[in-house]
Amino acid sequence: MAPVGITAEMEVSTIQEIDPTISQLLERSINARKASHSPYSKFPVGAALLCKDGTIFTGCNVENASFGVTICAERTAVVKAVSEGYKEFEAIAVCAVMEEKFVTPCGACRQVLAEFNPRMKIYLHNSSMEKVAITSLSHLLPDSFNPENVKFLS
């Protein structure tokens, strides 16, 4: 997770101004955060992934004493979706609390998300502020290494 202030490429909105579908996505990310297993960092994160057909998969961060095998909330949501046969994603909402900042997906999560939709909308929610920052994966990870840009030999 990378804490950020507001940049020129981010739009900020209040919860009340958000589209009802995205409000539901945000609510699901808030609830997913409650399931976090974060005994080491004490930094719970929740994510909710919106599929093209409207299905939502949630995830939370799951830490491990062997820090390298910790999995972030965003990747948890992606793994759950893909394991159920879903691979077309429209947006993701991420909920974390860090002072008066928004928390973006880490580099590894950005790369995993880019595998499925390099232009995905990202909604960042800090539940202590009642505001939402709206950005995109193409802004957070420009020129990503993804199936559209990389052709592997057969």
* Rounded Cα distance, 18 and 21, in Å: 8
* Rounded Cα distance, 20 and 89, in Å: 18
In this prediction, residue 5 carries a pLDDT of 61
In this prediction, residue 1 carries a pLDDT of 57
On the question of pLDDT at 8 being above 90, the answer is no
pTM: 0.92
| CA atoms within a 13 Å half-sphere pointing along the CA-CB vector of 25 | 28
* Rounded Cα distance, 13 and 45, in Å: 20
Which residues lie below 8 Å from residue 85, measured CB to CB, with a gap of 6+?
none
In this prediction, residue 154 carries a pLDDT of 64
| DSSP run (H or E) holding 50 | strand 46-51
Mean pLDDT of 104-126: 96
Concerning whether 148 is annotated as a catalytic residue, the answer is no
Confidence class for position 96, pLDDT limits 50, 70, 90: very high
* Residue 148 CA, distance from chain mean position: 21
In this prediction, residue 69 carries a pLDDT of 95
* Comparison of pLDDT for 8 and 36, the residue scoring more: 36
* Rounded Cα distance, 34 and 100, in Å: 20
In this prediction, residue 10 carries a pLDDT of 86
Interval 26-85: pLDDT, tens = 999 999 999 999 999 999 999 999 999 999 999 999 999 998 999 999 999 999 999 999
On the question of pLDDT at 16 being above 70, the answer is yes
Query: Tokens for 93?
Result: 């909402």
Query: Tokens for 80?
Result: 């759950």
DSSP structure string for 101-121: BEEEPPHHHHHHHHHH-TT-E
- Identify the three-state secondary structure at position 13: strand
| DSSP run (H or E) holding 29 | helix 20-33
Annotated catalytic residue within 27, 74, 84, 100? 74
In this prediction, residue 133 carries a pLDDT of 95
Residue 4 gets which letter from DSSP? E
